[in-house]
A and B are shown apart, each in its own frame.
Chain A
Amino acid sequence: MWLLKNIPNRELILFFVITSLIFSLFSSTFRSAGNVENILIGFSHLGILAIGQALPILMRGIDLSVGSILALVGMVMFDCYIIFHMPGYVVLPIAIAVGTMAGVINGILITRFRIQPFITTLATMAAYRGLTYAISGRQLVPESATQAIDDNLLGLFDEFSGIFPYSFFLLLIVLAAAQYILSRTRIGLDLYSIGGNPEAARLCGIKVDKMIIISYGFSGFCAALAAIVMVSRMTTSTENLGIGIELTAITAAVIGGISLQGGIGNAIGPVIGAFLMGVILVGLTLTGISTYAQPVITGVILIAAVSYDRYKYYKLRSKNSAGESA
C-alpha cells in the first residue's frame, strides 16, 4: 500500500486503464496493435504541446498562442525547404529557434509590460497567425503548394521502430528532460515557488520575470517540436495548421493534474492526459459516435477535470486548516 500511495497521478492512470479496457471490450478494432500505433502517432505531438503548456500554467499563466506558433514554425519550415532549398539539418534548428523566440516574445511582453498572460497570448495568437499568412510560401510562390517536404531528416517522425513511432521517442525525451528540470534542478524549484506564491518568491530573491520568460520560451519550444512532428507526418504545411489545438493542449494539461491555482503538477500528468483524450476520442469514433460529438465530450471532460482539481484543492485546504487548529 505504501508503494501504491507514492505513484504520481494514480487516479488518472486508473481512469486511463479502465477507459482503455472498456473500449477494448466494445470494439475489436480498438484492441488491435494498429490502433495502438494510431493513438501513439496521432497524439504524441499533443503530449509535447501539453508538457509545454504545463509550465505557464504552473506559474499561474496560460499560453493561448501555441496553435499559432505551431503554424508559424510549420510555415517557416515550408519556406526554408521548398523555396530556399535548405537541407533538413539547417531547417530543424531554424524551426526550433523561431518557435522558442515566439514564446520568449510572449514572456517579455508579459513581464516587461505587465499585461495579463491571457490577453497577451490572445493578441499574439492573432499576430502570429497573421505573420504565418504573411510569410506563406503557398501564396507567394503558388506552384510550391503541391511540392512535398521529402527530406530524410524532416520525414523522420513519420517512421516507426516496431510499433513505436519516432515522434513517441521524441515525446519521451521531452518528458524526461522536463521532469528532470522540474524535480531535480534549481529552475524547477523556482518555478514551483513562484506558482505557489509569486510575491513570497520575489521576496526570497527568485528572479520571477526571468522564470516567466523561460516558461513561455519553453512553451514555444515545445510548440516548435510539435510543428516539426506534424509537418513531418503531412510532408507539407498550411496556414491553418493547429487552429484550436491550444484548447486540447490546455485540457490535456489540466486533466493531467496541473492545477490552475499554480504550483502543483508534474510533467508526466499532461502526457497521460493527452493520451487519455486520444483513447477517448479514437474509442468513440471506433464505436460509431458522430465526430461532431467530440468537441462536446472534450468540453465535458475538461469541466469534470477542473471540478476534480477544485475538489482536491478544497480538501487539501480544509486538511491544512484542521491541522493548524489541532
Chain B
Amino acid sequence: MISSISNTSITAPLSKINISVIALPAALIIMSVIFSILDPVFFSGQNLITILHQSSIVGIMALAMTFVIITGGIDLSVGPVLAIAGVLCAWFLQISDDSVLIAIPATLSICFTIGAISGSFVAFIGLPAIVVTLATMSIVRGAGLLIAGPSLHLIREPESFLFIGSGLIGGIPVPVYIFVVLAAIAIFVQKKTTFGVLVSAVGDNHRATFLSGHNSNKIKIICYGLCALGAAIGGIIQASQVHTAAATYGAGIELDVIAAVVLGGASLMGGSGTIQRTIMGVLMIGIINNGLGILNVQIEMQLIAKGAIIICALLISQLDQRRSK
C-alpha cells in the first residue's frame, strides 16, 4: 500500500484541548475575518450564498468521498465520472424525448456501477485504491471521449433539467438546497445507521470486521459506488448550470475534493473522519477560492496559496498528534 513511513499515534488524551479539533473552525473564522477586513464585500449575505453555491458541486462529491476515505481508500476518478455523467445525461435526454425522470436515474445508476467496479478491484483482489482509481480515471476519461468526442454538447431543453443547476427557490440557487439535503442525509447515515458504523469499522480494522461476520467487501464496494454517485450528481448539476456537457469537464477537481476531506481531518490511513468536518473543509476551500477571487489574486497565485494552505492545515494536525504522543 501507499503509506507514509510514520509512527504517529492515533489516540490523543481527552483531558487537554485538542488543537487539531479546534484548528479548523478557528482557521475558518480567522480567514473570514481577514477577508472581510481586506474587502467588506466578502461579509455580505449575498456573498455567503455565493460561497455555498460555488462549493456545492465539490461539496456533494466530498460528502461521498468521505466514506471512501474512511474505509482507508481513495477515489481519483471523480473528475472523469463527473464529465461522463453530464455526457450520458445529455444523451439520455436526447433519446428519451427530454424525459428527466428517465435520464437522471439512468445516469446515476450507470455511474454507481462504474464506482462499484473500481470498488470490486479494491475489495476482492486487494489492489491499492490509488492505482485502481488512477486507472479508472484514465479509462473513464477515454470512454467519455470515445462517446462524446472533445466537443461541447449543448443542452437547451427541458426546463426541468435546467432548473436543477440554474433555478432559484426563494432567491437561493437550487444546488445549495441539494447540497444541504445530501449533507443532512450523509450525516444521518454516518451517525444513525449500521452502514455508517461498519464503514468506520472496515477502515479501522478490515480483518476484524470480516471476522465478526460482516461482509466488509460489500461495504467497500458500496462506498466506491456512492462516491461515483456523488460525482454523477455533481456532473448533472454542472451540465445543467452551464447548459452543456463535455467529456473534458472536471479535470483536476479530485484535488479539491480530496483536499476538502483531508482538511476536515479524515486520515488517509482510514478509520477516522466525519461528515460534519468534511463540510467544514469544503467551506474552507470555498472561502479560500471566493476570498482570493474577490481580492483579484491571479490564478497562479491561487494555486500556490491553495497548496500551501492545505499543507499548513495538515502540519497543525500532525504537530498536535506528535505532541500528544
Contacts from A to B (Cβ < 8 Å): 59-62, 109-110, 113-120, 122-127, 129-134, 136, 194, 198-199, 208, 212, 247, 250-251, 254, 260-261, 290, 292-300, 302-303, 306-307, 310
Contact = CB atoms under 8 A, between A and B. Distances in A.
B132 interface: yes
B102 interface: no
B282 to A, nearest CB: 17
Contacts of B134: 247, 250-251, 299, 302
Contact of A60 (B1, B126, B139, B302): B1
Contact of A306 (B8, B132, B149): B132
Given A114-B322, A303-B121, A61 B135 contact: no
Q: Chain A at the B interface: mostly helix, strand, loop or mixed? A: helix
20 contacts: A110-B4, A115-B314, A115-B315, A115-B318, A116-B6, A118-B74, A119-B268, A124-B307, A125-B307, A130-B304, A130-B305, A132-B300, A136-B300, A250-B134, A260-B128, A294-B142, A296-B138, A298-B142, A302-B135, A303-B132
A251 B136 CA distance: 13
B307 A302 contact: no
A123 B138 contact: no
Contact of B128 (A115, A119, A251, A306): A306
Q: Chain B at the A interface: mostly helix, strand, loop or mixed? A: helix
B139 A296 contact: yes
Interface string B303-321: 1111110110011001100
Nearest to A243: B251
A296 B121 CA distance: 16
B3 A60 contact: yes
A95 to B, nearest CB: 20
Given A115-B318, A116-B3, A247-B134, A293 B142 contact: yes
Nearest 10 Cβ contacts at the A-B interface = A130-B303, A133-B300, A127-B307, A295-B142, A299-B139, A296-B142, A299-B138, A292-B145, A130-B304, A299-B135
B316 to A, nearest CB: 10
